[in-house]
């Protein structure tokens, strides 16, 4: 790739001829990512434990030209991840979204709740990261996106284990980015603010929680999952050729704007 050329500038967001795996494509941000990748010309595997068919249908509607493969997977099972990575000879991008949250005080957390959150959010993500780079290393290229959260940086009561899993994911990603730079593999996280997906139904069903989450971002609203897709396309494409070990915050100002008070000035 000649980064000084006009071709680079013209095609930097183009994903055609790239093979991309989206894990978590059945819902929320992963579903939007799948549609956006297809819209930008990428071939993709839509992987999830459930709901893949409706995503595949929507992908074909947005771009009937791209090659899209459904893949049912439980990423808490390492051998299934390895099978997934064998679907393509060359993998250009991997997006991994699955996570859960059990929102309760740390003092009340059971060991099995702790294990459930950590085994998906941190351990399965670790296994996806490891299997992805083993494959990408063979071709000296690739871009991987794992998901952190504003909770990887700032917390409220009830977020302990989820927050720890997200901060942990950021550190896995930063270290892997350092280890894989020599193979031209870029590894980054995205940290969303509040997004309207099934993961956050509990918050929107609670009047006060919903109000707090609507007014805290500087833009004063929840995100639609499609609003995360721009960051995903950016990190997968050549537009981010100089970006690795970064945490891309897409939070409408949640983390950096205090938001408690608007002085009358």
Ligand X SMILES: NC(=O)c1ccc[n+]([C@@H]2O[C@H](COP(=O)([O-])OP(=O)(O)OC[C@H]3O[C@@H](n4cnc5c(N)ncnc54)[C@H](O)[C@@H]3O)[C@@H](O)[C@H]2O)c1
Stretch that binds ligand X, among 9-17, 19-27, 107-115, 133-141 (CB under 6 A): 19-27
Give the residue with the Cβ less far from ligand X, 81 or 180.
81
Q: How far apart are CA 149 and CA 143, in angstroms?
A: 19
Residue 197 interacting with ligand X (CB under 6 A) = yes
Q: Are strands 93-96 and 142-147 parallel, antiparallel or unpaired?
A: parallel
The distance of closest approach from Cβ of residue 220 to ligand X in the complex, given in angstroms and rounded to an integer, is 16
183 is catalytic: no
**Residue of 162, 213, 234, 242 marked active site:** 162
- Per CB under 6 A, the list member of 132, 147, 234, 248 interacting with ligand X is 147
**The one segment of 87-95, 126-134, 135-143, 196-204 that binds ligand X by CB under 6 A:** 196-204
44 binds ligand X (CB under 6 A): no
Least spacing, CB of residue 175 vs ligand X, in Å: 19
- Mode of pairing for the β-strands spanning 68-72 and 93-96: unpaired
| 199 touches ligand X by CB under 6 A | yes
Specify the 3-state DSSP secondary structure of 209. helix
- 168 binds ligand X per the rule CB under 6 A: no
Helix (H), strand (E) at residue 146 = strand 142-147
Q: Which residue is nearest to ligand X (CB)?
A: 28
Choose which of 93, 142, 168, 192 interacts with ligand X (CB under 6 A): 192
SS3 245: coil
Reading the block at residue 259, the tokens are 């938001």
- Neighbour-count burial of 5, counting CB atoms closer than 10 A to its CB (0-12 exposed, 13-18 middle, 19+ buried): exposed
Measured between alpha carbons, how far is 146 from 129 in angstroms, rounded to an integer?
A: 8
- In angstroms, give the least distance from the CB of 29 to ligand X: 4
Interface with ligand X (CB under 6 A), residue from 15, 20, 73, 85: 73
Please identify, using beta-carbon distances, which residue of 50 and 262 lies nearer to ligand X.
50
Is residue 28 involved in binding ligand X (CB under 6 A)?
A: yes
The number of beta carbons lying within 10 Å of the beta carbon of residue 51 is 15
Q: Is 189 in the site for ligand X (CB under 6 A)?
A: no
Residue 252 within binding range of ligand X, rule CB under 6 A: no
What's the closest the beta carbon of residue 98 comes to ligand X, in angstroms?
A: 3
With contact defined as beta carbons under 8 Å apart, do 36 and 12 qualify? no
Question: Quick check: helix, strand or coil at residue 193?
Answer: coil
Is residue 33 within 8 A of residue 228, CB to CB? The reply is yes
Q: Which of 21, 29, 94, 232 binds ligand X (CB under 6 A)?
A: 29
Q: In angstroms, what is the C-alpha Rg of the chain?
A: 18
Tokens of 72: 């049912």
Q: Which two tokens stand for residue 105?
A: 């005080």
Tell me which residues touch ligand X (CB under 6 A): 24, 26-30, 48-51, 73-76, 97-99, 120, 147, 149, 192, 194-195, 197-200
- Known catalytic residues? 162
């Amino acid at each position: 790739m000649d980064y000084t050329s006009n071709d680079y500038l013209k095609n930097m967001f183009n994903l055609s001829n790239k093979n991309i795996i989206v894990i978590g494509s059945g819902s929320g941000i992963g579903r939007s990512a799948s549609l956006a990748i297809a819209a930008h010309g990428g071939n993709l595997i839509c992987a999830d434990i459930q709901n893949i068919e409706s995503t595949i249908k929507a992908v074909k509607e947005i771009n009937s030209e791209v090659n899209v493969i459904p893949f049912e997977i439980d990423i808490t099972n390492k051998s299934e991840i390895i099978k997934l990575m064998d679907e393509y000879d060359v993998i250009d991008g991997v997006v991994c979204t699955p996570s859960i949250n059990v929102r309760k005080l740390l003092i009340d957390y059971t060991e099995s709740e702790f294990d459930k959150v950590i085994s998906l959010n941190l351990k399965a993500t670790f296994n996806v990261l490891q299997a992805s780079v083993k494959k990408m290393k063979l071709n000296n290229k690739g871009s991987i996106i794992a998901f952190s959260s504003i909770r990887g940086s700032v917390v409220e009561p009830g977020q302990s284990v989820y927050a720890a899993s997200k901060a942990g994911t950021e550190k896995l990603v930063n270290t892997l980015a350092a280890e894989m730079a020599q193979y031209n593999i870029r590894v980054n996280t995205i940290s969303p603010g509040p997004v309207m997906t099934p993961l956050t139904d509990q918050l929107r069903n609670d009047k006060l929680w919903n109000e707090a989450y609507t007014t805290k971002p500087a833009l004063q609203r929840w995100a639609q999952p499609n609003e995360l897709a721009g960051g995903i396309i950016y990190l997968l494409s050549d537009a981010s050729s100089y970006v690795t070990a970064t945490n891309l915050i897409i939070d409408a100002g949640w983390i950096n704007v205090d938001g408690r008070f608007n002085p009358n000035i």
